[in-house]
């Protein structure tokens, strides 16, 4: 079986994901051959792939990556048209699209009759909006076309309509999602007669909790060695709760701790990362965090704050949440959607009402007072193992075999 993993982007997890999957898939089955295909060569590819593991749709002097940044929709049209041609001239059994959240309409146009089984992964960006009214949802039960199709198009945002049409027309042979709530949501778009099978697969991450101690990690990223440390990691965006957290911390009057902010400011300025409370020491590591230092930040922390806003989407989880458990660290997470279910089901830490800054402060106070003992450590590690790349490879291989 020949499998093609496809993602046109080249940043961060877009390369980590396939680079981890290729050796694991090939270790599971002697008869599988896996290649990663992307838009155009970039120097960063050499850090993740051997030459025989990767191929490119466009020549090195193509402007496709610049177009992806400037006009993503137009670039995707070019990319997926070229992908169809690539599949027609290369003998692959399965093409696994690693990020389909924003290309449903393009997949319908260009890959509906592709010369390979089409598997798509909805990563979660698609769910980052809460706009589905009961009436609009009921309209999705009608087939596309005619007056019903017009009503659907008028009532629902474009991505949701296009996903429904993909399901109805079987544009994908199989769809993957990362949570049970996401599966229920997607299947609910075509409730009368589901035409495309949807499976939950792990939100993969490496297992870090046995890779080093807290003291060594703190020395690596130059953090205080003898203080309680909470971590906010990743891009500092409003929907990930950065403004909510900063506003809440102004009123913190519990036992002292250090709050580390590590990531690129997006919706706040660098000078906004400040707190009036004398009980909170602030450490700013603002900017892109190299992959080789990510592990150390999570291992250095006593806990990880995940104050995401409900607008983030209740059907999705976050990479920060997954990395916290991969490092064996408890979370302080917003009490909604997947965060609620996973935190409470596995005893991964504390949750708080996302509408209440007081509730967040109470959770932080409890965490510090208990010296971070707010979770079941064995359960955290069990959850992390269930979300590993090894488990993802096993699930993916089973799905590939079902499609051919």
Q: Could you tell me if 86 and 194 lie in one domain?
A: yes
Token match 């949802």: residue? Answer: 137
The answer on 329 and 195 residing in a single domain is no
Instruction: Identify whether residues 51 and 109 lie together within a single domain.
Output: yes
3-state secondary structure at position 54: strand
For residue 142, is pLDDT > 60? Answer: no
- Residue 232 tokens read as 């906010």
CA 202-307-298 angle, to 5 degrees, is: 60
Distance (Å) of CA 212 to CA 36, 80, 299, 380:
31, 43, 8, 17
Cβ atoms 34, 5 nearer than 8 A: yes
Pseudo-torsion of CA 367, 370, 372, 373, nearest 10°? -120
Judgement on whether residues 223 and 191 belong to the same structural domain of the protein: no
- CATH number, domain of 69, equals 3.40.50.2000
Alpha helices in 64-132 (DSSP H): 64-70, 72-89, 104-110
- Whether residue 195 contacts residue 168, with contact meaning beta carbons closer than 8 Å, is answered with yes
Res. 263: pLDDT tops 70: yes
Convert the pLDDT of each residue in 19-52 to its tens digit: 999 999 999 999 999 999 999 998 889 989 999 9
Binned at pLDDT 50, 70 and 90, residue 126 comes out as confident
pLDDT at 396 > cutoff 50: yes
Claim to verify: residue 280 and residue 312 sit in the same structural domain? yes
How many domains does the structure of the chain reveal? Answer: 2
User: What does the pLDDT average to over 102-118?
Assistant: 93
Mean pLDDT of 375-381: 95
Q: Give the 3-state secondary structure of 149-192.
A: HHHHHHHCCHHHHHHHHHHHHCCCCEEEECCHHHHHHHHHCCCC
Query: So what's the pLDDT on residue 35?
Result: 98
* Whole-prediction pTM: 0.86
Count CA atoms closer than 13 A to 90's CA, side-chain side.
20
The per-residue pLDDT for 241 is: 97
* Spatial distance between the Cα atoms of 36 and 41, rounded to a whole number of angstroms: 12
Same domain, 394 and 382: no
Is 209 part of any domain? no
Residue 154 is part of which domain span? 2-204+388-403
Q: Which residue has the higher pLDDT, 378 or 135?
A: 378
Q: pLDDT of 269-287, one tens digit each? A: 999 999 989 999 999 999 9
The residue-averaged pLDDT of 225-236 equals: 95
Specify whether 11 is located in the same domain as 151: yes
What was the pLDDT predicted at 195? 80
Residues 349 and 269 in one domain: yes
Q: Which residue, among 179, 147, 369, has the nearest Cα to 255 in the 3D structure?
A: 369
Q: What is the mean pLDDT of residues 198-212?
A: 83
Could you tell me which residues are beta bridge partners of residue 286?
Answer: 263
Average pLDDT over residues 347-374: 98
């Amino acid at each position: 079986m020949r499998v093609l993993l496809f993602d046109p982007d080249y940043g961060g997890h877009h390369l980590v994901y396939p680079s981890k999957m290729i050796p694991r898939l090939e270790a599971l089955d002697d008869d599988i051959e896996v290649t990663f295909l992307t838009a155009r060569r970039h120097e960063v590819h050499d850090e993740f792939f051997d030459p025989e593991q990767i191929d490119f749709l466009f020549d090195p002097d193509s402007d496709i990556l610049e177009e992806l940044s400037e006009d993503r929709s137009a670039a995707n049209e070019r990319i997926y048209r070229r992908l169809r041609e690539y599949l027609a001239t290369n003998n692959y059994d399965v093409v696994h699209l690693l990020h389909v959240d924003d290309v449903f309409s393009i997949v319908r146009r260009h890959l509906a009759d592709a010369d390979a089984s089409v598997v798509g992964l909805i990563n979660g960006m698609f769910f980052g909006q809460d706009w589905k009214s009961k009436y609009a949802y009921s309209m999705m039960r009608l087939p596309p076309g005619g007056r019903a199709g017009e009503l659907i198009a008028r009532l629902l945002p474009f991505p949701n309509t296009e996903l429904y049409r993909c399901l109805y027309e079987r544009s994908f042979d199989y769809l993957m999602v990362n949570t049970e709530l996401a599966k229920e949501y997607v299947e609910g778009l075509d409730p009368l007669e589901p035409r495309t099978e949807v499976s939950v697969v792990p939100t993969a991450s490496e297992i870090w909790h046995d890779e080093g101690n807290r003291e060594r990690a703190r020395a690596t990223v130059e953090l205080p060695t003898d203080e309680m440390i909470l971590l906010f990691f990743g891009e500092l965006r409003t929907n990930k709760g950065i403004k909510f957290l900063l506003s809440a911390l102004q009123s913190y009057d519990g036992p002292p701790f250090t709050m580390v902010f590590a990531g690129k400011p997006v919706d706040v300025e660098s000078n906004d990362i400040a707190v009036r409370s004398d009980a909170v020491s602030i450490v700013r590591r603002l900017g892109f965090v190299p992959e080789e230092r990510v592990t150390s930040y999570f291992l250095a922390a006593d806990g990880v704050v995940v104050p995401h806003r409900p607008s983030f989407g209740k059907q999705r989880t976050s990479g920060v949440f997954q990395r916290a458990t991969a490092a064996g660290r408890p979370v302080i997470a917003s009490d909604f959607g997947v965060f609620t279910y996973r935190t409470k089901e596995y005893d991964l830490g504390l949750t708080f009402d996302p509408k209440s800054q007081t509730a967040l402060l109470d959770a932080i106070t409890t965490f510090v007072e208990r010296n971070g003992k707010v979770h079941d450590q064995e359960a955290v590690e069990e959850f992390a193992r269930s979300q590993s790349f090894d488990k993802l490879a096993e699930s993916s291989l089973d799905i590939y075999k079902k499609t051919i």
